[in-house]
Structures are given as C-alpha cells and as structure tokens.
Amino acid sequence: MRTFLMLLLCSHLIACGGGDGPYTFQSRLDEAIPRTLAETNIPGVIVGVWQGRDPVYLRAFGVKDVQTREPMTTDLYMRIGSNTKAFVVTGILQLVDQGLLSLDDPISKFVPNVPNGDNVKIRHLAQMRSGLASYSDGDKILPLWYDDIYRQFSTQELLDGSFNQKKPILFEPGAKYDYSNTNTVLLGIVLEQLSKQSLRDYIHDRIAVPLGLKHVEYPTANGGGPIPPPFAHGYATIKGARTDMASANFSWGNAAGCMVAAVEDLGIWVRDLARGTLLKPATQAERLTFLDALPEHDGYGLGIELNNGWLGHGGNIFSHVSYPHYLPSQDLTMVVLFNSGENIYESVRVVQEITRIIAPNNVWPDLPTPEQDEDVEDI
C-alpha cells in the first residue's frame, strides 16, 4: 500500500515537473542540480523534497570540506541563519496564545532604552517594520567580527551596535518594511523574559520536542557555540579570502540567525510553520497577514516570508545559506542547504533550477541586486 502511495505521489510530481516516460522528476533533479552547482563556486548542497509528509527526494551533492574533499551527505548539520527568526517569532506567538503578551505591547514594556521604544510594538518587530537600524549594518559589530571570527558578542553589545548608530531610528514604526536583525534580538529578550527560559531551552522544549525535531539546535553561549557533528564546513569571504568558518563564533547572529539544523528536521519544521501547527488558528492568521516587502520578498508576515507562493524564511549567515520553504497549493516542501555564503546569487540559481522542475508555476524569484536591496547579504 505504501509503495502504491509513493508511486502516486511521484506521478503527481512528475506531472508538476513536466517529466514524461522514464525521465522522472528525480532524474531531472539528479541532472540539473550538479550541473548548476558546477557553474558556481559553492562546494556542496543538500536538497530535500516532500509531498505532504512523505519524502520523495533527498540527495547531497559536492563536498562538505574543500580540503579533504569529503563528500556532502544528507545527515549533516548546517547553519540556518535567519530561519532562526521564524523559530523565535513562533515562540513570541505562543506567548500571545498563552495571554502573556500582546502583539500591540510596546517593546519599552520589556526592554529599557530602546530608541522610540514606546511606539515600537511587538508586531512591528516581528513584521520588520520597527524602523530600528540593524546592528549588522553599523560599523561596530561585523567589522569587529571580520577582525576576529572567534569573538564572542553579548546581546547588549549587539543592541549597542544598533542604538548607538548615528541614525538609530530610520522611520516611524509601521511606515514601511526594513529588514533589521535588531528586531529579532529584541524579541529574543522578550521570549526569555516571559518564558523564564533561555532561547536554547525554549526552542527545544516548546518547538523541537512537540514537532519531533531531534536535529535542530540553538547553540550555547549566546548562540556562539560550535556547530555539532556531523557538519558541513561552511565558507565565507573574509577580507578578500575564502575562509573555513567551521570553528568561527556566530554569537553576532544571536536570536536573529545563529541556529543549526539538519535537512530532514527542517522539512518537518517549515511545513508546520506554514500550517500553524503550534499556534491557535487566529494567531496563525495574524502571522500569515503579508504586507508588501518588495524588493526582498512578495510579502513579509510575522517572521515568515512569501516568495511566489512559497512560505518560509531563508537564511544567509555567510558560511551557510538555507532555503526551507513550503508551497501550500501543492502541499510541497523544499529544503535546500548550501555550505557557502560567498555569493548568494549563485545559491538562487540552484534553487530556481529545482523549482522549475518540482513546481514550474512557482519558480523561485530573482534576488534583487545590491543597488535595489541593501540587505541582500544579511542574515
């Protein structure tokens, strides 16, 4: 019976991908992914596709370590960058469901000395509409990290890197979309304060365990802990040179981007994120109220993106790039993980090739140029 069901599922995907005869969507992906990867400077990629909760494609291509040339495998931990934001905002929305928090509470109720804090609401932070400058856009945090990739940053250092900029307030809350890592760091403080748990423990106890996720982790030491084994080495361009970031400290990502995960757990997670498994229906409806976020996305809700029908939250923390996304119209999940953040445009090319095959009506959109979007290289 299961074999018959899988054949039906595969037939559905073959039809969606335009395959015919023996040339199935799996073989099309097997040809397209390594071909496109070879046209980039990315060492390796892991790709998972699910129809409903059934895995229909799981492959790894390229190498996990450019020195040893060890092949990429599908069981490896990768850094997931800004997909961390989706976990943190889910925790915030769970607090809303518990009556411990309102989306219209000002951040000043929980965190002192936030510029314009009486007017910045929890909702604005989750929507990326607070008007607060991102600490990663200033001249204090990332330049220090480039000088010492093992540096440990405290949460307060990150906030100071935002609040002490010449223009800490870019616009009035709610006026427009502007992607700021400061927003989610503040939400992380609120989540820890009201739950009386560390982010690491909260995400484990209230998100990972209920969903059965065993390979999703918020690292220790304020997000600066090492990536657990087995892992794919990640590569970034630091001061003009390719640098292996396997042992780098990513505490500067904090609640905005420091988590690690493996592909199969991300497949479970992003489907449940999009379907609202952990939230009340009304709260999930709030989450999926998308406001214009061009040119970055078709829309941005509460810690979730909309990209040509795909729901999820991408992540780029320089060493690794992640695309965990779910397509409701087909009950289709796609997770694509890269072990290089050296050129984000190259990862987009690979994801576009994948979506042309598995969902030709929902091909991944082009990424805006740096001239259009100052946050293209952000986490």
As a three-state string, the secondary structure of 180-237 is: CHHHHHHHHHHHHHHHCCCHHHHHHHHHHHHHCCCCEECCHHHHCCCCCCCECCCEEE
Q: Any bridge partners for residue 327, and if so which?
A: 332
Q: CA 318, CA 234: separation in Å to the nearest integer?
A: 8
Token readout for 303 is 């810690």
Return the sign of the alpha-carbon dihedral for residues 363, 321, 174, 207: positive
Adjacent-strand bridge partners of 293: 297
* Cβ-Cβ contacts under 8 Å for 286 (sequence gap 6 or more): 93, 103, 302
CB-based contact 133:170 (threshold 8 Å): yes
Q: Mind listing the pLDDT tens digit of every residue in the chain (379 residues)?
A: 433 334 334 444 433 444 433 447 899 999 999 999 999 999 999 999 999 999 999 999 999 999 999 999 999 999 999 999 999 999 999 999 999 999 999 999 999 999 999 999 999 999 999 999 999 998 889 999 999 999 999 999 999 999 999 999 999 999 999 999 999 999 999 999 999 999 999 999 999 999 999 999 999 877 888 899 999 999 999 999 999 999 999 999 999 999 999 999 999 999 999 999 999 999 999 999 999 876 667 899 999 999 999 999 999 999 999 999 999 999 999 999 999 999 999 999 999 999 999 999 999 999 776 554 544 445 6
Residue 378's pLDDT is what?
A: 53
Q: In DSSP terms, which residues pair with 300 in a beta bridge?
A: 291, 305
The pLDDT of residue 370 is: 56
pLDDT of residue 226: 87
| CATH numeric code, 2-358 | 3.40.710.10
- The tens digit of pLDDT for each residue in 41-64 reads 999 999 999 999 999 999 999 999
Looking at residue 277, what is its pLDDT?
Answer: 97
Residue 297 CA, distance from chain mean position: 13
Predicted structure pTM score: 0.92
- Spell out the domain ranges in the chain: 2-358
Q: Of 376, 359, 364, 367, which is closest to residue 28 (Cα–Cα)?
A: 359
Residue 331 token pair = 């009950």
